[in-house]
A and B are shown apart, each in its own frame.
Chain A
Amino acid sequence: TQLLEQSPQFLSIQEGENLTVYCNSSSVFSSLQWYRQEPGEGPVLLVTVVTGGEVKKLKRLTFQFGDARKDSSLHITAAQTGDTGLYLCAGADTGGFKTIFGAGTRLFVKA
Chain B
Amino acid sequence: DAGVIQSPRHEVTEMGQEVTLRCKPISGHNSLFWYRQTMMRGLELLIYFNNNVPIDDSGMPEDRFSAKMPNASFSTLKIQPSEPRDSAVYFCASSLGTGRKTEAFFGQGTRLTVV
Q: How far is the CA of A103 from the CA of B91 in the complex (A)?
A: 15
Q: Is A11 an interface residue (CB 8 A)?
A: no
Which 10 residue pairs spanning A and B have beta carbons closest together? A42-B106, A96-B99, A103-B42, A92-B102, A101-B43, A30-B100, A31-B100, A50-B100, A97-B97, A96-B102
Count of B interface residues, CB-CB < 8 Å: 27
8 A Cβ contacts from A44-100 to B: 44-45, 48, 50, 88, 90, 92, 95-100
Count of A interface residues, CB-CB < 8 Å: 24
Can you sample 21 A-B contacts with CB below 8 Å? A31-B101, A42-B4, A42-B109, A43-B104, A44-B106, A45-B103, A45-B104, A45-B105, A48-B103, A50-B100, A96-B100, A96-B101, A96-B102, A97-B97, A97-B102, A98-B55, A99-B104, A101-B35, A101-B42, A101-B45, A102-B42
Q: Is B34 an interface residue (CB 8 A)?
A: no
* Chain B residues at the A interface, C-beta cutoff of 8 Å: 4, 31, 33, 35, 42-43, 45, 48, 50, 55-56, 91, 93, 95, 97-109
* Chain A residues at the B interface, C-beta cutoff of 8 Å: 30-31, 33, 40-45, 48, 50, 88, 90, 92, 95-104
Assess the B43–A104 pair: CB atoms within 8 A. Answer: yes
Assess the B106–A97 pair: CB atoms within 8 A. Answer: no
